[in-house]
Structure 1
Amino acid sequence: MTKKTILILFVLLSSVGCSSTPVLNDTTDAKVLTPAPKLKKNAESVVDSRIFDGVYHHWKGTPYRYGGSSKKGIDCSAFVQVGYSSVYQKQLPRTTLELVKKGKQVNRNKAKEGDLVFFRTGRNSRHVGIYLGNLEFLHASQSKGVIISRLDNPYWKRHFWQIRRLDKY
């Protein structure tokens, strides 16, 4: 393979995967690490608590690895895929660009636990996480691994793209 071919393949692969936050300084990233949210008590939350309590605590701190899907390293779309599969027995696409085609778009103020939150983090890069409610979402961060972050964090607020609701059952 020529260097030019390798460069083209790298650019193409970068545009279909997911990316996450660059290393942020303490002032912009201060709200990123938060305890798991207290879930409302209703029928949906009983099911959803398995993804947010069980999946989060199992994967918490797992390092980010582009293309990864194991405890050694996982990227954002694989994390969403694994989370949904383990709780809802629902198979989701592997890439962020395929995930964003699923479900229906909902207004930010109508977001519910389990909705997917999407961000445009660069010209050709996208990021996805699982909305927890109360402006918090669970995701695989490039700088901190699997964590809970806030939509009102300056970085995420600036890169917010859309929220999509999937039929979970």
Structure 2
Amino acid sequence: MREVSRLSLLRQRVARWSCVGLVCLAGVAPSWAAPEAAPSPAPGNAVLRLLQSSGLVESVDGRPSLLSQVQEGASQLVLTAMDFIGVRYRRGGNSADAGFDCSGFTRHIFENSIGLVLPRRAAEQANAPGLLSIPLEDLKPGDLVFFNTLRATFSHVGIYIGDGKFIHAPRTGAAVRVEDMRDAYWAKRFNGARRAPMPGEGQRTTP
């Protein structure tokens, strides 16, 4: 009887391992099978996920209105800008190695993400031909945002990234970072915004 029981147990083990090896002949892919390639995230999703992972927004769920605002070109622009968080400020600087000032940063990002070469100074960027003037309530990720920080119109510039936040090279002793435009300091110094045509869009003129 003991030999019969041992043979029965062996048969059960063989049957069980055969079931695993053949996935019980049910055509179900085993857990160790190579997964199918995940679809590439939409450009807007990429931006929003980055904002969430950086703690800049609490959740990316339930934000269809913000998601719909992010165009592919603007998405690439924002993602490129976020890569430079932590680069030191340097007056007159226009590269990651040398450091950036505010307009050097925006110029570098626009040129290297969408191929648009902006003028060098913040005030010149605000008046650059082909850019559309945008009111505060219509801001979208990728828009240039301007501030009066030196008692002069358009003396500082950054890039709007969504959810009331912008990224910029702030001042000597600081580094590229994200800040909230709704903070009192920035809110009272906001001068206006400009939108550049993204790849595939026609050129537009400032009204």
What TM-score does the superposition give when structure 2 sets the normalisation length? 0.59
**Change in CA separation of 1:49 and 1:168 when aligned onto 2, cut-off 3 Å:** closer
- Which position in structure 1 is the counterpart of 2:100? 74
CA shift, 1:123, in A, is 2.0
In the alignment, is residue 130 of structure 1 matched against residue 156 of structure 2? no
Q: How does 1:104-115 map to 2 (within 5 A)?
A: 104-115=132-143
> Out of 178, 181, 191, which is 1:148 matched to?
178
Determine the C-alpha separation between the residues in 1 that align with 2:113 and 2:95.
Answer: 17
Determine the C-alpha separation between the residues in 1 that align with 2:68 and 2:184.
Answer: 31
Q: How does 1:1-169 map to 2 (within 5 A)?
A: 35=55, 40-42=66-68, 44-57=70-83, 59-71=84-96, 72-102=98-128, 103-124=131-152, 126-142=155-171, 143-169=173-199
Determine the C-alpha separation between the residues in 2 that align with 1:68 and 1:54.
Answer: 17
Determine the C-alpha separation between the residues in 2 that align with 1:104 and 1:46.
Answer: 18
CA shift, 1:35, in A, is 3.6
Determine the C-alpha separation between the residues in 1 that align with 2:175 and 2:158.
Answer: 12
**Change in CA separation of 1:144 and 1:134 when aligned onto 2, cut-off 3 Å:** same
- Across the two proteins, how many residue pairs are aligned to each other? 135
Determine the C-alpha separation between the residues in 1 that align with 2:184 and 2:152.
Answer: 20
Q: Which moved more, 1:119-128 or 1:148-157?
A: 119-128
- Which position in structure 1 is the counterpart of 2:34? none
CA shift, 1:154, in A, is 1.4
Q: Which moved more, 1:107-116 or 1:38-47?
A: 38-47
Unaligned runs of 5+ in 2: 1-53, 200-207
Structure 1, residues 33-68: CA drift from partner, whole Å, max 9, x if none? x645659545953332322223312x1111111101
Determine the C-alpha separation between the residues in 1 that align with 2:178 and 2:87.
Answer: 12
- Which position in structure 1 is the counterpart of 2:20? none
**Conserved? CA contact 2:80–2:109, under 8 Å:** no
**Conserved? CA contact 1:36–1:52, under 8 Å:** no
Q: Which secondary structure state, in structure 2, belongs to the residue aligned with residue 79 of structure 1?
A: helix
The structure whose Rg is larger is 2
**Change in CA separation of 1:45 and 1:89 when aligned onto 2, cut-off 3 Å:** same
Letter in 1 for 2:186: W
Structure number with higher relative contact order (C-alpha < 8 Å, ≥ 6 residues apart)? 1
